[in-house]
Structure 1
Amino acid sequence: MPALVLENVEVIYDKVFLAIKGVSLEVGEGEMVALLGSNGAGKSTTLKSISGLLGPERGLVTRGEIRFGDRSILNLGAPERVAGGLVHVLEGRRIFGHLTPDENLVAAYRGRSIARFNQLREQVYAYFPRLKERIKSKAGYLSGGEQQMLAIGRALMTEPRLIMLDEPSLGLSPLLVQEIFGIIGTINAEQGMSVLLVEQNAAATLDIVSRAYLIEQGQVVMSGAAEVLKSNPDVQDFYLGGAEHTDYRNVKHYRRRKRWLA
């Protein structure tokens, strides 16, 4: 049984703007899947439809079905979805800057056992030893990479079965991106945790996931195994840096290559 299934999901903002149009995707148990696309394509809206965070932005799922495990979650609030094992690490980290890393972890823990909290906290520090080195610092003074590590670590304190990461590479150096993606892969392998990774950095993402979906203008336009997408000439041209080799004098040919937007 897939961990997560979206079937023909549509989202409207302010009862007017159709943001995503019939998006369907699956994430298997213990699988790492990517949702790729350019800025404004509908990636973050898709994640918020899953985590239940559309309401504050006046968004609404108006069509389709979202199932997590064996149940529909459309009628559940965001806290209930977290309690069920679904966690969303938002774009921009959103850590509590006035608290220390330890206090951020305390704020996310939902259980009552001090022993279990200590186990989870030590697990987070094992994955992200830099956070333990900065344990007495205010989180707002951590580097961008350390803040991203804290955001992921805080999500792990909820003991999720599926973690959704929105642009974890945003604003980070290539070396830090490689380090954080490596840790995400380790968490997936060691815990069997399903991962849905939203990214614009297609090159780095396709190296660590098993499958990917490509979304443009609110629609899934391509999906398949990561290796298949990496070898696709259109994906190479528009998302993997291959476009720099295109002959721009032949503009009609270049425009035609992005066939899925025709």
Structure 2
Amino acid sequence: MNSTNETEAAKDPILTLNSIEVLYDSVLLAIKGVSLEVPNGGMVALLGANGAGKSTTLKAISGLLKAERGKVSRGEIRFDGQVIGDSPPQDRVGLGICHVIEGRRVFEHLTPDENLEAAAPISMSRQTLKSEKERIYSYFPRLAERKSAEAGYLSGGEQQMLAIGRALMTQPRLLMLDEPSLGLAPFLVVEIFDIIQKINREQGLSVLLVEQNAVAALKIVSHGYLIENGRVVMHDTAAALKANSDIQEFYLGGGEAKNFHDIKHYRRRKRWLT
């Protein structure tokens, strides 16, 4: 299931973050010099505990910080070689950036079919609309079975599939997923992540995956970044991260159950940063 390969590492990045900082209310520094790359057609995970800065990083990329009184105060964000730091969210969507926000936000009073149509660009032809819906239903047959039911009555897993399907209707070039496994049964997590990997493989869609579930994420991505307290403290291939003793201990369930903040010390932090 792991998509790691040497050719992907050689691809030019579709997304580059260069030492970005994010301020809230011009006071609170939430992101402290984060740099990362997503290869064109690649899959990358941004891992970390709750509150580490993962969602804020995605919002900086999609332009959703302003609604939360946040801003990128330093650094550069490039998409396909273009600096987009000052672009409004709608322009970033037009470039091909799609952000699936945490929480499976769908129109609950509409059917899955109506949800997909509502997400389609106004300029999309009826023929393209029909073919895009058919393509999405082929990836998510559960949605095809429930396409006439109100979305509010779908299960959590089905709503997550619908949220991803709505994103695909915009025909993105970069799909950013914020905690897609949150609150889902393990078998559904495996199913959804398998589908994400299949879409990446068949469509060449670049994916930036934010996850606390490092086990699931590292099975489908080629590279990962570990963020703590607004800083990237580790970056490597998925295979290397899975083999790292610190990652195993704190993120993959290895070793005895411990309190991460109590036992983390300077020597370990120094080793991660070197």
Could you say which TM-score interval applies, normalised by the shorter chain? over 0.9
1:62-89 alpha-carbon deviations (Å, 9 max, x no partner): 0000000020111211111111111000
Cα RMSD for the two superposed structures: 1.6
* Residue matched to 2:69: 58
SS at match of 1:91: coil
Letter in 1 for 2:187: L
Query: Is 1:101 aligned to 2:101, yes or no?
Result: no
* Residue matched to 1:150: 162
Whether the 8 Å contact between 1:29 and 1:194 is mirrored in structure 2 is yes
Q: How does 1:112-127 map to 2 (within 5 A)?
A: 112-127=124-139
1:93-112 alpha-carbon deviations (Å, 9 max, x no partner): 11111111011111110033
Stretches of structure 2 lacking an aligned partner (at least 5 in a row) = 1-11
Q: 2:220 aligns with which of 186, 204, 208?
A: 208
**Paired residue total:** 258
> In 2, Cα distance between the equivalents of 1:165 and 1:87?
9
Whether the 8 Å contact between 1:88 and 1:155 is mirrored in structure 2 is yes
Query: Is 1:229 aligned to 2:229, yes or no?
Result: no
* Residue matched to 1:32: 43
C-alpha displacement of 1:15:
1.0
1:192-243 alpha-carbon deviations (Å, 9 max, x no partner): 1100000000011111100000000000000010000111111111101114
Whether the 8 Å contact between 1:234 and 1:257 is mirrored in structure 2 is no
Q: 1:83 aligns with which of 84, 94, 98?
A: 94
SS at match of 2:191: helix
> In 1, Cα distance between the equivalents of 2:142 and 2:159?
10
* Residue matched to 2:230: 218
Distance 1:259 1:232, change over 3 A: same
Distance 1:258 1:172, change over 3 A: farther
TM-score relative to the length of structure 2: 0.91
> In 1, Cα distance between the equivalents of 2:164 and 2:88?
21
Stretches of structure 1 lacking an aligned partner (at least 5 in a row) = none
C-alpha displacement of 1:136:
1.2
Q: 2:173 aligns with which of 161, 176, 186?
A: 161
C-alpha displacement of 1:256:
5.8
Distance 1:165 1:91, change over 3 A: same
> In 2, Cα distance between the equivalents of 1:2 and 1:127?
26
TM-score relative to the length of structure 1: 0.95
Q: 1:259 aligns with which of 264, 269, 272?
A: 269
Tell me whether 95-104 or 148-157 shows the greater mean CA deviation.
95-104
1:137-191 alpha-carbon deviations (Å, 9 max, x no partner): 1111100000000000000000001100000000000000000000000000000
Of all paired residues, the percent bearing the same amino acid is: 63
> In 1, Cα distance between the equivalents of 2:268 and 2:87?
38
Letter in 1 for 2:45: A
Letter in 2 for 1:209: V
Q: 2:24 aligns with which of 3, 10, 13?
A: 13
